[in-house]
Amino acid sequence: MSENNGSNRFPSPFNVPTPEGCEGWQDLYPYYYVFSDDRREFEDNRFWFQDAMHHPEPLYPFDTITCESWWVALGEMNTRVFIVPPALGIDHRVLNGYLYISALPVANPDDIPGRVAHFMERAGYYYRHWDELYAQWQAKAEEAINELKSVRVPDLPEMEPIETVTEGRGLTSAYDMIVAYNRAIENMHKMWHLHFEFLNLGYAAYLTFYGFCKQAFPGISDQTIAKLVSGIDVILFRPDEELKRLAQKAVDLGVADVFKQTVNPTQVVETMSASEAGGQWLQELEKSKDPWFYFSTGTGFYHLPRSWVDDMTVPTVAIRGYVEKIQEGKSIARPMEAVQQERDRLAREYEALLQTDEDKNAFREQLGLARTVFPYVENHNFYVEHWHHTVFWNKMREFGQVLVKHGFFNEVDDMFYLHRYEVQSALYDLIGAWGSGGEARGPKYWPSRIAKRKEIFANLKKWSPPPGLGEPPEVVTEPFTIMLWGITTESIQNWLKPAGNGEGAKLLTGFAGSPGTAQGPARVITSVEELALVEPGEILVCPITTPSWAPVFTRIQAVVTDIGGMMSHAAIVCREYGVPAVVGTGFGTKSFKTGQMLRVDGNAGTVQVVE
């Protein structure tokens, strides 16, 4: 990353050099997804920030299907469906493999009043029929997942089965291959359309309540407003509850010692299989797997890391931790009742401060709506990024297996170094040669290109992307940018400081994500593989947490993240688990070292090294 030397703007995307060994990286992505001279005037006059929350790593060419899908779906719901008054969509560009995004406002403020009536009519319909439409949404989401599961990836036989003739089918395995791939790709786009059917409305309802509170109660903190809608029962926490259930079953069945011997998933299953009680526990495990182990240990936006159903290392480590707590007589329950009692106490106290019945009714109505819609803000994450995407990535691997079998790839996951359009071309190359009896070009074309792309990708991973590009606004006011990504005027100013990477800092500030204070040794981790290193009583310092990390929250004292705002998953999960958190510090993983004593103040939003 280039130093800013005190400038009030970030580098132009057109002046950022290509990292050594990454020449030709643009060929990994579609022409429309990279910065280009064709759109230079537009692109160079916008502020772009790296979406390190959802896409912290360089984008595998195929994996851009997730961000490309939400690029379209979020934008159209704001701009064409619900007509959000002040906001359009979020534009995307890739630079040196990393995703940069830019929130697009309504260009002419005079257009905003005219959009309000449309929004009230359209969003109002959803708010009035929320429960009915949300139940319908859940059915649609599960239907989409089942549709994806039903996609059959065909083999290409030496000879079509005789039924192709006797049933007069007229269609072949080549046709089935085209249909299967297209159905799977269309299904991903469908799921992301469903993702944003409700999401921005959920945020909008919360923001309306947030604005009411800020006006009615001058000085109320963002954290207090967030606590007023906490204590929610959402399915995003169900996978963790299943691990607790399995831990209790292991204790009840007398097989808990297996987890003291090993947390290697294969060894756990083998040892359990050797006894009747262990066999009963394995039956309980199978009950939990579908769908609750369709839970990515990452964000779900990439084909890696794998989900629990593919690699049970995270679940077995978590079960061991829960077994230890149960045997020590400690509670492993989420403190739901305490969180709800605090929430309700705050609601009563703030309502009592209002002077008129009209204001009190407005407070109750807006709080009620925010609590009604808020569960979707978390629940959609399980349905889409975890359950659906686990099925999707594994379905894509089935196509990869076909291409490995026919010599196009050396490894199944090589397919993720191709963009989805290129995979479609490779499959057509394959069926063309299969149908004609000729020779496919792919086996000679793709292996060397994939090898080169792997080299480029490895070098892109070594690059440190600047957090922003172009000229930032003087004041950040766009609410989603602040509340979800945690990008504020202050954080941008910190980024712009010369050599502003926070290295060696003794005090960092961020969002007061979850209340409480804690002091303990830091555990700095930058990948999911390091989660197993977390020891009881440590303070977790990481770029961002994901929902599947919830089991580790019962072992730690506090959380510190580089990225995220008050409504990020990290902040929400910490509030629900009663774990103090400071999110969006910017440089926590660079400032602190494992073993350093830290004091985390989740009320004030500060993290300090204790000398």
Enumerate residues 6+ apart whose C-beta is below 8 A from 208.
366, 369, 370
Residue 327 to residue 536: CA distance in whole angstroms = 15
Per-residue DSSP letters for 13-59? TTTPPPPTT-TTGGGGS-GGGB--GGGHHHHHTS-EEE-TTT--SPP
Residue 587 to residue 262: CA distance in whole angstroms = 35
Mean pLDDT, the chain, rounded, equals 94
Residue 157 to residue 381: CA distance in whole angstroms = 39
pTM: 0.95
Residue 599 to residue 112: CA distance in whole angstroms = 45
Residue 206 to residue 553: CA distance in whole angstroms = 26
Instruction: For residues 139-144, give the mean pLDDT.
Output: 98
pLDDT over 60 (residue 3):
no
First-to-last CA distance in the chain?
A: 31
Instruction: For residues 543-551, give the mean pLDDT.
Output: 89
What pLDDT, in 10s, does the model give residues 65-88? 999 999 999 999 999 999 999 999
Cβ pair 395, 184 in contact under 8 A: yes
The partner residues of 507 in beta bridges, in order of sequence, read 608
Contacts from 276-285 at CB under 8 Å and sequence distance 24+? 277/253, 278/253, 280/253, 281/246, 281/249, 281/250, 281/253, 281/255, 284/245, 284/246, 284/249, 285/246
Quote the pLDDT of residue 528: 85
Instruction: For residues 284-292, give the mean pLDDT.
Output: 98
Residue 560 to residue 580: CA distance in whole angstroms = 9
The one-letter code for the residue type at 482 is I
Instruction: For residues 364-385, give the mean pLDDT.
Output: 93
Quote the pLDDT of residue 498: 66
pLDDT over 80 (residue 6):
no
Instruction: For residues 278-293, give the mean pLDDT.
Output: 98
Tokens coding 59: 């984008």
Percent of the chain exceeding pLDDT 90 equals: 86
Cβ pair 28, 97 in contact under 8 A: yes
Give the domains, in start order, of the chain with CATH numbers.
Answer: 199-404 (no CATH), 499-609 (3.50.30.10)
Per-residue DSSP letters for 208-231? HHHHHHHHHSTT--HHHHHHTT--
pLDDT over 60 (residue 16):
yes
pLDDT over 80 (residue 499):
no
Quote the pLDDT of residue 570: 85
Quote the pLDDT of residue 292: 98
Cβ pair 64, 419 in contact under 8 A: yes
pLDDT over 60 (residue 233):
yes
Cβ pair 298, 304 in contact under 8 A: yes
Q: What is the DSSP letter of 4?
A: -
What is the pLDDT confidence band of residue 171, given thresholds at 50, 70 and 90? Answer: very high
* Alpha-carbon distances of 477 from 155, 486, 605, rounded to whole Å: 54, 12, 20
pLDDT over 80 (residue 307):
yes
What pLDDT, in 10s, does the model give residues 516-535? 999 999 999 998 889 889 99
Residue with tokens 């309502």: 351
Nearest to 320 by CA among 268, 355, 282: 268
What is the pLDDT confidence band of residue 5, given thresholds at 50, 70 and 90? Answer: very low
Quote the pLDDT of residue 501: 55
**What are the backbone angles phi and psi of residue 88, rounded to the nearest 5°?**
-100, -135
Nearest to 244 by CA among 337, 332, 334, 329: 332
What is the pLDDT confidence band of residue 537, given thresholds at 50, 70 and 90? Answer: very high
pLDDT over 80 (residue 480):
no
pLDDT over 80 (residue 491):
yes
What pLDDT, in 10s, does the model give residues 375-399? 888 899 999 999 999 999 999 999 9
Residue 563 to residue 486: CA distance in whole angstroms = 7
Instruction: For residues 221-233, give the mean pLDDT.
Output: 93
**Helix orientation angle between 130-150 and 173-216, rounded to the nearest 10 degrees:** 150
